[in-house]
Structure 1
């Protein structure tokens, strides 16, 4: 267990419980939550945990601010989409798309790192911002190759598609969230709530795609955990704290920073590949939009920079709020009288207002991020007991 976590444990009981709950929810999600919408959200959680964790490797552990992270995410997604559009839905096209996307990411990230990391802080961020916008413009204009703003449909192998049915029987599922909601709203009808929570799952290729994504996410997370706790990771943290001192100790910081940019770009590309296979549709808005880059940054900050565990917590909380905050406001809006100030404030159309307010409150009460603050509180309690 120590080798698995590389000695970097959550160091907080509440955080450990939350991570275990998230792991179980993602591992058993297709059999615990009914509906296509929830299934899709679980897949996006796995994808963006990879994206945010790889970005945390740059931002949290090395203090490299890059706005080109979504570019590499888009390269992975478009690599699969373009390959399937030109060569069909076979495994050969899938392999060509994966290899082509990874090679393109290596070359671009290496070039970006070597040419730009010699400049400092905000100047590197501006360079990556310019490159990201240039790439977005290129993808939008190359209509014959990328589909332009319309995007491309992804044609994956039959075994990875929803039409593939490996088994004739259905697997029982239990919508635990639906059961809890029904049980709380109608305490006297537990039996009926239990019956309504039962559903059947017909296994298909999309379940195989989901679990490939889930296993890849877990493997990448532990790979990053091992990396940041290795001698290589210690140098990254030394660069973060004082780059001049790290250089004085003999470390070639430009090479380390370039290596981080390349690794982070490759992992973002892998996430883009998985996104394309799950979403089955790629366009500039869902892969290269600058708003998506801001969301990745917010997930990293909310969860806690320089922790990796923060990528999991931040991603899950962000996507839950993004997908269900408006539904929650609809439920609350139905409980208050119409034409009142409260009704105006909790109007579902104002969900972005509350979304922003939640972010402000999270930063105010968790200045070190949720994971960082939980660890601080846990350390204080432990020292108080001693």
Structure 2
């Protein structure tokens, strides 16, 4: 075997980095995913797909990857991750509007530093809390930041700030000024590179002793303390790392939109959307939150062109995921594939599943009708 191919558990694995090994199937999926990412500008040019929607979806998906560190490994649900996304975006906007910084990379760095600072402060106060208390505290801090920005003249109230240093042209990227089309393309490819590097870093992190300690904390905090893990300190560090990912995504969002306002970045519903992305794509996987980000953002942007009550579409999607794909889109694919293979071998399983599904649907409809009768008529 070469140094890039190793035998493990009777199967050949491809070694990408030290300690990072993928099966042949996973390697093929990773290569296909990378190719698709880099071909998105060409794919959208020759189809009806929206390039901007996909780009924005990747950015929000990156923020969801950060949130997923808490959700998957420490089993903590944050309702306030829009705070870091918004602070990252406003950090870049403030440097462009008030300090005339023209370098896109410096604007991005400023946004990440601002989000890191805020995550350190918030994490210090919330790291020791669990369950609903943790969720509500993160939501409260998010709303405080939202209200502060909304009522501050420095951040231009609800109108927000421009990310055009000279008031007309976008920031420079890599020291060069670009046309509008060139700027969008270069920023997209830079975003893809940042995404890939961020996923690799997160993979190394969750497979390190630190990541295993987070898993222990998520399973049982008391037991983790008994084995010597400083629980609050580890949760605090994980919270800060999660915030850095959110700030990185927010800074890139500011460079893409070239204008930052409170509602699309800091509002509490944005936190809910980021959480929904992780669940939709599959919070038990590394790449799932990115898939969820692209799918949800695309729906939110494109759905108003096709349906009148487009906000209900996200709710129906969440219900469908919870009922039929509880492990998310990406997390459910292996089980769907295994199930289809079993059904091909034994056709009787398909008839059994259809019968079971029909019974479940009848019970659900009966309960729904009964509930409506009680609410409307007051009788059972």
Whether these two folds match at TM > 0.5 is yes
Shift of 1:321: 2.5
Equivalent-residue separation in structure 1 for 2:41 and 2:332 (angstroms): 32
* 2:63 match: 51
The superposition leaves residues 241-294 of structure 1 with CA deviations (integer Å, 9 ceiling, x where unpaired) of 112111111111111101100111111111111000011110001111111111
Match of 1:368 among 324, 327, 337: 327
Shift of 1:312: 2.3
Q: Are 2:171 and 1:157 equivalent residues in the alignment?
A: yes
Tell me the SS of whatever aligns to 1:33.
Answer: helix
Match of 1:132 among 124, 130, 142: 142
* 2:92 match: 80
Shift of 1:381: 7.8
Q: Are 2:119 and 1:106 equivalent residues in the alignment?
A: no
Shift of 1:164: 2.1
Which protein has greater RCO, CA pairs closer than 8 Å, 6+ apart?
1
Match of 1:61 among 70, 73, 89: 73
Tell me: CA distance 1:277–1:162, structure 2 relative to 1, closer, same or farther (3 Å): farther
Tell me: CA distance 1:37–1:142, structure 2 relative to 1, closer, same or farther (3 Å): farther
Equivalent-residue separation in structure 1 for 2:45 and 2:175 (angstroms): 19
Using the TM superposition, name which of 108-117 and 43-52 deviates more. 108-117
Tell me the SS of whatever aligns to 1:57.
Answer: helix
Mapping of 1:193-272 within 5 angstroms?
Answer: 204-272=182-250
Equivalent-residue separation in structure 1 for 2:285 and 2:130 (angstroms): 23
Q: Are 2:119 and 1:141 equivalent residues in the alignment?
A: no
Equivalent-residue separation in structure 2 for 1:313 and 1:10 (angstroms): 21
* 2:279 match: 301
Shift of 1:296: 0.9
Tell me: CA distance 1:354–1:50, structure 2 relative to 1, closer, same or farther (3 Å): closer
* 1:2 match: 15
Shift of 1:129: 1.2
Tell me the SS of whatever aligns to 1:286.
Answer: helix
Shift of 1:21: 5.0
The superposition leaves residues 145-197 of structure 1 with CA deviations (integer Å, 9 ceiling, x where unpaired) of 111100111114245899724xxxxxxxxxxxxxxxxxxxxxxxxxxxxxxxx
Q: Are 2:317 and 1:358 equivalent residues in the alignment?
A: yes
* 1:117 match: 127
Normalising by structure 2, report the TM-score: 0.76
Equivalent-residue separation in structure 2 for 1:119 and 1:355 (angstroms): 30
Equivalent-residue separation in structure 2 for 1:21 and 1:317 (angstroms): 18
Using the TM superposition, name which of 260-269 and 102-111 deviates more. 102-111
Shift of 1:310: 1.4
- 8 Å Cα contact 1:160/1:206 also seen in 2: no
- 8 Å Cα contact 1:11/1:375 also seen in 2: no
Match of 1:284 among 237, 250, 262: 262
Using the TM superposition, name which of 149-158 and 290-299 deviates more. 149-158
Q: Which runs of 5+ in 1 are unaligned?
A: 166-201, 330-347
Normalising by structure 1, report the TM-score: 0.75
Equivalent-residue separation in structure 2 for 1:132 and 1:307 (angstroms): 26
* 1:174 match: none
* 1:169 match: none
Tell me the SS of whatever aligns to 2:77.
Answer: coil
The superposition leaves residues 307-357 of structure 1 with CA deviations (integer Å, 9 ceiling, x where unpaired) of 222112212222233233444x4xxxxxxxxxxxxxxxxxx2133334322
How many residues get paired? 325
* 2:44 match: 33
Tell me: CA distance 1:372–1:203, structure 2 relative to 1, closer, same or farther (3 Å): closer
Shift of 1:299: 0.9
The superposition leaves residues 226-250 of structure 1 with CA deviations (integer Å, 9 ceiling, x where unpaired) of 1111111111111111121111111
